[in-house]
């Protein structure tokens, strides 16, 4: 089967292999998911896992940011004053330790600085939650 040009540009690479076989249509080099009821069913079957994962990710990211950049951040600021914004970072890294392991701990300490900085600039956990969610959703496509 000839691979459509659209796939070479990366359009079908984000689909799982079983969906790619449904999506290919040699006619005119266009993917099948763009036309017909079978294509719509294939597209919905591929999108369903993403939306379930995205919903769960939204809840987890928002919860983490409310806990870390909301409650813990405020407690650290109350206890340490202006320097308290840096003291909540280990909480972020420790929270991700079971998922990513000890080798990622220093990276998680650094990555947590971005939402921490957003918290300082915005004054609340909303901006860090949006940034966290955007990063997690982008990871789906990597």
Question: pLDDT band for position 3 (50/70/90)?
Answer: very low
pTM score of the predicted model: 0.62
Distance CA 47, CA 52 (A): 9
Please give the average per-residue pLDDT across 64-68, as a whole number: 89
**Orientation angle between helical segments 36-65 and 126-140, nearest 10 degrees:** 140
Domain ranges of the chain: 5-34, 49-140
pLDDT tens for each residue of 22-51: 444 444 444 444 445 555 566 666 677 888
CB atoms within 10 A of CB 57: 17
Please give the average per-residue pLDDT across 18-24, as a whole number: 48
Please give the average per-residue pLDDT across 5-19, as a whole number: 47
């Amino acid at each position: 089967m000839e691979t459509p040009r659209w796939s070479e540009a990366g359009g079908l690479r984000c689909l799982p292999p079983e969906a790619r076989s449904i999506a290919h249509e040699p006619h005119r080099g266009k993917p099948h998911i763009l036309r017909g009821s079978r294509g719509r069913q294939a597209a919905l079957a591929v999108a369903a896992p993403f939306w379930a994962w995205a919903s769960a990710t939204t809840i987890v990211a928002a919860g983490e940011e409310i806990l870390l950049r909301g409650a813990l951040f405020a407690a650290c600021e109350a206890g340490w004053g202006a320097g308290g914004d840096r003291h909540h970072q280990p909480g972020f890294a420790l929270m991700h330790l079971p998922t990513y392991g000890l080798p990622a701990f220093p990276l998680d300490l650094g990555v947590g600085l971005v939402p921490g900085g957003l918290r300082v600039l915005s004054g609340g956990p909303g901006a860090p939650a949006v940034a966290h969610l955007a990063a997690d959703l982008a990871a789906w496509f990597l």
